[in-house]
Amino acid sequence: MWDQILQFLITGVTVGATYALVALGFAIIYNASDVVNFAQGEFVMIGAMTAIALSAGDGGLPLPLALIGAVLITIAVGILLQRFAIAPARGASVVTTIIITIGASIFLRGVALLVWGKDIFAMPHFSGEIPLHIGNATLLPQNLWVMGGAALLVMGVHYFFNHTIIGKAILACSCNRTAAHLVGINVGLMMLVAYGLSAFLGAMAGILVAPITFTSYDAGVMLGLKGFSAAILGGMGNPMGAVAGGLALGLIESLAAGLISSGYKDAIGFIILLLVLFIRPSGMFGKVSAERV
């Protein structure tokens, strides 16, 4: 029994780490521009699919180079999305921008379908498939890659927003765009940085987890929705809350799938989303803002 639970926890943290990175992407874009970017899951898919495409076959690149290439391509997609779909709609309502990002996600999925078809792809594990044993539970080296990679990325993002002037400038754009202009911040450029960073996190999530979960042109849909649920669970706009929300969602899903039924795995995520929205819309760590004027 306990071995089983340990196994569920390992799976839960691995999946949760992926959700955390997607949720972090949601939080960053929401913080920078008040846009909920429903194309976030597509970044994950594009990262994984381009990495596989670049490394596949006889003429393929060595894996590390393919991964770097995939990340750069995904970042470019994120920047293009901001520049050509989001920026022109500046000042539009929240609903409008949400519809734009949903449209963008359908478009990106369509392009992926044209390029790669409906096949399911696998990516080679980074460092072999020999499982490690903890008690009776097993752990693949790739699980460690996911957890370690996600931990490093989260720490990096935390450092970026709390200890660098560029990170703070992005936050400044979200709290007061006019004032950001007036202190000399290039607001347009900061938006591109925010979308590029979110795309980078999405691509990394996709690349890290692809060897375990496989991937296909529509893999981003579910990951995007789960990441969104995690971001809401943690409190939208709170990056570290998003990470905690991702881990919590991954753990709950994995435990529910193991202990109740795996058929309910996906439903759990959305039941949690609805419960949070009903009971505590500001999320686990949503701040109650105090502001004097």
Residue ranges that bind another protein, judged by CB under 8 A: 165, 168-169, 171-172, 175-176, 178-187, 289-293
Non-local (6+) Cβ contacts of 220 within 8 A are 41, 42, 43, 44, 45, 46, 105, 108, 109
CB of 187 to another protein, least distance (A): 8
Cα maximum dimension of the chain? 64
Nearer to another protein, 4 or 186 (CB): 186
CB of 166 to another protein, least distance (A): 9
CB-CB neighbours of 117 under 10 Å: 10
DSSP state letter for 284: S
Answer whether 121's CB lies under 8 Å from 179's CB. no
Phi-psi region of 209 (alpha: psi -120 to 50; beta: other; left: phi over 0): alpha
CB of 92 to another protein, least distance (A): 16
Nearer to another protein, 102 or 171 (CB): 171
Nearer to another protein, 133 or 163 (CB): 163
Give the separation between CA 291 and CA 180, rounded to whole angstroms.
18
* Separation of first and last alpha carbons in the chain: 57
Which amino acid makes up residue 72?
Answer: L
Residue reference for tokens 């803002």: 289
**33: Cα separation from own chain's centroid:** 17
Nearer to another protein, 179 or 260 (CB): 179
CB of 165 to another protein, least distance (A): 5
CB of 12 to another protein, least distance (A): 32
Non-local (6+) Cβ contacts of 152 within 8 A are none
CB of 237 to another protein, least distance (A): 10
Nearer to another protein, 114 or 183 (CB): 183
Give the separation between CA 134 and CA 248, rounded to whole angstroms.
22
CB of 134 to another protein, least distance (A): 42
Give the separation between CA 176 and CA 187, rounded to whole angstroms.
11
Residue reference for tokens 């701040």: 287
Nearer to another protein, 136 or 176 (CB): 176
Nearer to another protein, 194 or 248 (CB): 194
